[in-house]
Amino acid sequence: MTDTAHALGTSHTFWELVERRAALTPDRPVLLQDDRTLTFEELRSGAERAAAGLYGMGVRPGSVVAWQLPTRIETVLLAMALARIGAVQSPVIPFYRDREVAFALRESEAAYFAVPGEWRGFDHTAMAHRIGARGVFEAYDSLPDGDPDVLPPPPSDGTDVRWIYWTSGTTSDPKGVLHTDRSLIAGGSCLAHALRLSADDVGSIAFPFAHIGGPDYLVMLLLYGFPAVLFEKFALPESLEGYRKHGVTVAGGSTAFYSMFLAEQRKQPGTPVIPTLRLLAGGGAPKPPEVHHAVVREMGVQLTHGYGMTEVPMITMGSPDDTPEDLATTEGRPPEGMEIRIVDGEVRLRGEAVCKGYLDAAQTAEAFDEDGFLITGDLGHLTESGHLVLTGRLKDVIIRKGENISAKEIEDLLHRHPDVGDAAVIGLPDAERGERVCAVIEAVEQPSGASALTLETVTSYLRAEGLSVHKLPEQLEVVDALPRNETLRKVLKYKLRERFSGSATPAP
């Protein structure tokens, strides 16, 4: 990290970070979207005017303001306007609907709710009124405006809770995760330090800015003074024009994004799909080693992957100067200040980037051990060089006849198979075995007449790869597409369990 970036990383609050960057490089761009450009000074002044407008609406330091907005320049301005006031903001993923949104508003006691109006065929304003939201206002292409002279001094304490993020709900309600400006700045600093970026880079935010990765990425832009292209809707090949137009050098998001870029590259082997691209980076989902090797080999760019979660936006990150083996098989190393403790194979965390807990005090008590370490539920180990290797989740351990089986181990092997596009391995209830191993596969489109994947061919392949017999799948399901969430495109295994738990058990 440069001396300047390191100094900026000591900022106590988001607003202090915005002001310090604007003073250093006021005319440099920070956000690019379609034909629009926003400079660092325009970010500061625009956010301050929006803050004055919000103040005129009654928003005060400590007011809870929820917002459910797409990835747009106005969204970033609104977030920084709320940071200027010292409000508590609760970002909500734009794809959530009545049940999840009502829960988030109720639990956070939001007094205001910013929505995009009608967006992608759904009327968010109507939903807001339908669920009884308070202080509803639209903030898609315009924001409240006012004279900054009416504003009180900006907040100075970066350790107050000012962000409520929501874990992705599966079969239960999401949790409200409490963050401070300092915890988010610490997470973004880790990302910036690991990736070794410079002011000459051009980044990209192709995921919802309402995700915990939004402020993480914004911190990186503010520390290093380079811009990012915003994508309100990410889809390939349509979005490639934006990457090429703005000369993006760093792209990514999660493993699903890597695979999508790789699929586009394979349409024109040898011709860079994004000529200026030099690095793919991301996290949020497991990365099979074969995906890493394929990206490096076929796209000719580096790939660095990291480990983070809503509770801790950046835990470890691969670095461009790591060895190819470490980049392919680990999640990188933690930054200074992030403590990792392995207890009975489970990863536990302590550091400034760790959240303050949850809205529900009982959930907070369960989440931290007696030494203040966050209990993640992830399984892994540290190598001699300090790199973290994740081996799965406690929930992802399949217990078959009393033997623990890692779903991730089988998935990594399946990703090497040339006919497998993607794979998820789950445990299904089984009266005789306790659980049986089920592999759910997205198959690569085959030429007419080619043999389809069968349980026998898959298990034969896994045997040849050295997988122990007791870990072999006993059930195979081939699907057109694995179910994924709308943020970082994580596979939703609970939906697979719901879908296939009633399937007949193959003969042993």
For the entire predicted model, the pTM comes to 0.84
Fold of 11-182: Rossmann fold (3.40.50)
**Per-residue model confidence (pLDDT) at position 449:** 54
Q: Do 36 and 141 form a contact (C-beta atoms < 8 A)?
A: no
- Residue 359 sits at φ, ψ, to 5 deg, of -60, -35
- Exposed/middle/buried for residue 420 (C-beta within 10 Å: 0-12, 13-18, 19+): buried
With b meaning 16 or more CB within 10 Å and e meaning fewer, what string describes 296-330? beebebbbbbbbbbbbbbbbbbbbeebeeebbbbb
Residue-wise pLDDT for 144-171, tens only, equals: 999 999 999 999 999 999 999 998 644 4
CA dihedral sign, ordered 268, 272, 275, 281? positive
Total residue count of the chain as it appears in this document: 508
Give the Cα-Cα-Cα angle 495, 497, 502 (nearest 5 degrees). Answer: 120
Q: How far apart are CA 313 and CA 186, in angstroms?
A: 9
- Exposed/middle/buried for residue 371 (C-beta within 10 Å: 0-12, 13-18, 19+): exposed
In this structure, the dihedral spanned by the alpha carbons of residues 447, 451, 454 and 460, taken in order and rounded to 10 degrees, is -110
Say which residues have a Cβ less than 8 Å from residue 386's Cβ, sequence separation at least 6: 333, 334
Listed by start position, the domains of the chain span: 11-182, 401-500
Residue-wise pLDDT for 286-340, tens only, equals: 788 888 999 999 999 999 999 999 999 999 999 988 999 999 999 999 988 899 9
**Both structure tokens of 238:** 């349509």
Residue 383 has what DSSP assignment?
-
State whether residue 331 is helix, strand or coil.
Answer: coil
Q: Give the number of other Cβ atoms within 10 Å of residue 291's Cβ.
A: 22
Give the HSE-up count for residue 57: Cα atoms under 13 Å, Cβ half-sphere: 25
Nearest to 327 by CA among 349, 351, 296, 348: 296
**Both structure tokens of 86:** 């010292």
Give the Cα-Cα-Cα angle 91, 96, 99 (nearest 5 degrees). Answer: 110
In order along its 508 residues, the chain shows pLDDT tens digits of 677 877 888 889 999 999 999 999 999 999 999 999 999 999 999 999 999 999 999 999 999 999 999 999 999 999 999 999 999 999 999 988 998 899 999 999 999 999 999 999 999 999 999 999 999 999 999 999 999 999 999 999 999 999 999 986 444 678 999 999 999 999 998 888 888 899 999 999 999 999 999 999 999 999 999 999 999 999 999 999 999 999 999 998 888 889 899 999 999 998 999 999 999 999 877 788 888 999 999 999 999 999 999 999 999 999 988 999 999 999 999 988 899 999 999 999 999 999 999 999 999 999 999 999 999 988 899 999 999 998 877 777 888 877 778 888 899 999 999 999 999 999 898 877 778 999 999 988 766 556 689 999 999 999 999 888 889 999 999 999 999 877 767 888 888 988 998 765 444 4
**Both structure tokens of 221:** 């832009």
For the domain bounded by 401-500, which CATH number is listed?
3.30.300.30
Q: How far apart are CA 124 and CA 139, in angstroms?
A: 11
**Per-residue model confidence (pLDDT) at position 451:** 67
